[in-house]
Amino acid sequence: MVESAKREQLQKLMAAIAAGDRMAPFKLRMAFDTELKAAVRRAGVEVGRALPSDEVEAVATDFCTWLISHAAAWRPDGALPWRWAWAHLTTQVRKNQGYWPLAAADPRDHDIEETTVAAGIDDAEILHTFAKASGTHARLARVRQVLEATSGPTDVALLLEYAEQSEAGDPSPSHTISPRYELSPDAVRKRVQRARDRARQHIDGHPEHADLADLPIFGGRMVRRRKRAA
């Protein structure tokens, strides 16, 4: 997640790119180097490739150049640019297959990837990260119990990524994550709603989990809005 000060900087740079400032893409490339390279590595893992450092650098730079003709379509209140253009990133990484045929991933990249790449690489990675975090956090462990009791692994991963995008300020997380799951945005919303409904029904029948009902992952804020509207 990008902190508020950097988010503001990002919005200004994207606006400058959209306005035709030819230096802005390179400023963005330097200012968001870590985030861009982490996104490229995520794209590599999604398409089944361990990218060498030179390819990561090249794709990150190419992405900023690509923004010159596409930044105007980005919404400041939406997903981060590299999430918004996720389909483009993964396509570029696929196209690069064979251009670095003898290159191996730089072993130094492993630690960088572990610390900078957020959950959202694939279902297994999302669930592994969630399981690891819940192992040291009692309340999160109970959230995991509820999710695993009511949904399969894919729906759990979908719900976790949807909640992450929502908390990051994405006004339309279903559009952001739908390409990765090969679902329409409407299908994503329906699966998330069904998973949340199952989880809340489970919570209703288990008083020891009552304090979890209002958590955002279970649609807690939406539930409150519906009650106020009623």
Residue 1: predicted pLDDT: 47
Residue 225 in this model has a pLDDT that exceeds 70: no
Tokens of 179: 């390409």
User: Which of 113, 146, 161 is the C-terminal boundary of a domain?
Assistant: 113
**Among candidate residues 93, 194, 119, 110, the one with its CA nearest the CA of residue 152:** 194
What's the domain range around 171?
119-229
Let me know whether 19 and 90 are in one domain: yes
Q: Which residues of 21-51 are buried (b: 16+ CB within 10 A; e: fewer)?
A: eeebbebbbeebeebbbbbbbbbbbbeebeb
Residue 120: predicted pLDDT: 36
Confirm whether pTM is higher than 0.85.
no
pLDDT in tens, 2-61: 567 888 999 999 999 999 998 999 999 999 998 898 888 888 887 787 888 888 888 999
Let me know whether 91 and 146 are in one domain: no
Number of domains in the chain: 2
Q: Are 80 and 35 in contact (CB under 8 A)?
A: yes
Place of tokens 């519906």: 226
Residue 170: predicted pLDDT: 76
Distance between CA 11 and CA 68 in Å, rounded? 14
Place of tokens 């192992």: 135
User: Which of 113, 141, 176 is the C-terminal boundary of a domain?
Assistant: 113
Residue 215: predicted pLDDT: 87
- Report the range of poorest mean pLDDT among 110-114, 158-162, 171-175, 198-202: 110-114
Let me know whether 80 and 98 are in one domain: yes
Let me know whether 101 and 38 are in one domain: yes
Residue 144 in this model has a pLDDT that exceeds 70: yes
What's the first-to-final CA gap in the chain, in angstroms?
A: 34
Residue 93: predicted pLDDT: 86
Distance between CA 126 and CA 123 in Å, rounded? 5
Let me know whether 107 and 131 are in one domain: no
Let me know whether 174 and 216 are in one domain: yes
Q: What angle do CA 117, 119, 123 make, to 5 degrees?
A: 130
Let me know whether 109 and 124 are in one domain: no
Q: Which residues of 52-70 are buried (b: 16+ CB within 10 A; e: fewer)?
A: beebbbbbbebbbebbeee
CATH code, 37: 1.10.1740
Let me know whether 108 and 144 are in one domain: no
User: Which of 113, 148, 171 is the C-terminal boundary of a domain?
Assistant: 113
Let me know whether 206 and 156 are in one domain: yes
pLDDT in tens, 71-124: 999 988 888 899 888 888 888 888 776 544 333 333 333 333 333 333 334 566
